């Protein structure tokens, strides 16, 4: 491995926004690791299966989602991204609106980068 290019993670974060906006479960399935663990703003631990089910059921409605990438760090085959989403929509029947800071852990696998963990909080 020759090291992770931060531009690759930037591109993945931008694609992820598109996948979330359109509930593109085929693409989300490719970039979310099967063992993903994510902590939602209310403290709920969310798995890939839970996230995918909410998109498939139409429980994730995004009216707007604006991404700002604040920082990307790389360590071996892993990258950590810190982003801010300005969000307006509905998640699991609850209105979600405002700015949220996310941390995501991306790991490189033979078939590409996948999100293995993360968390977000309202700011």
Instruction: Please name which of 9, 2, 1 lies closest in space to residue 80, comparing C-alpha atoms.
Output: 9
User: How many angstroms separate the Cα of 2 from the Cα of each of 89, 96, 106, 109?
Assistant: 39, 40, 16, 14
Instruction: Give Cα 100 to chain centroid, integer Å.
Output: 12
d(CA 98, CA 49): 25
Task: Report the mean per-residue pLDDT for the chain.
Answer: 93
Give the whole-angstrom CA distance, residue 66 versus residue 47. Answer: 23
Q: Is 65's pLDDT higher than 60?
A: yes
Per-residue model confidence as pLDDT tens digits over 23-62: 999 999 999 999 999 998 889 999 999 999 999 998 888 9
What predicted TM-score, i.e. pTM, was given to this entire model? 0.92
Q: Does domain 6-122 have CATH number 3.10.450.50?
A: yes
Domain range summary for the chain, segments of one domain joined by +: 6-122
């Amino acid at each position: 491995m020759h090291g992770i290019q931060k531009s690759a993670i930037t591109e993945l974060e931008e694609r992820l926004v598109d996948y979330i906006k359109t509930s593109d479960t085929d693409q989300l399935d490719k970039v979310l690791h099967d063992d993903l663990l994510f902590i939602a703003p209310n403290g709920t631990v969310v798995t890939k299966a839970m996230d995918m089910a909410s998109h498939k059921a139409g429980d994730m409605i995004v009216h707007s989602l604006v991404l700002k990438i604040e920082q990307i760090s790389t360590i071996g085959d892993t990258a950590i991204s810190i982003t801010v989403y300005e969000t307006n929509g509905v998640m699991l029947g609850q209105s979600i609106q405002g700015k949220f800071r996310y941390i995501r852990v991306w790991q490189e696998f033979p078939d590409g980068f996948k999100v293995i963990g993360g968390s977000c909080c309202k700011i």
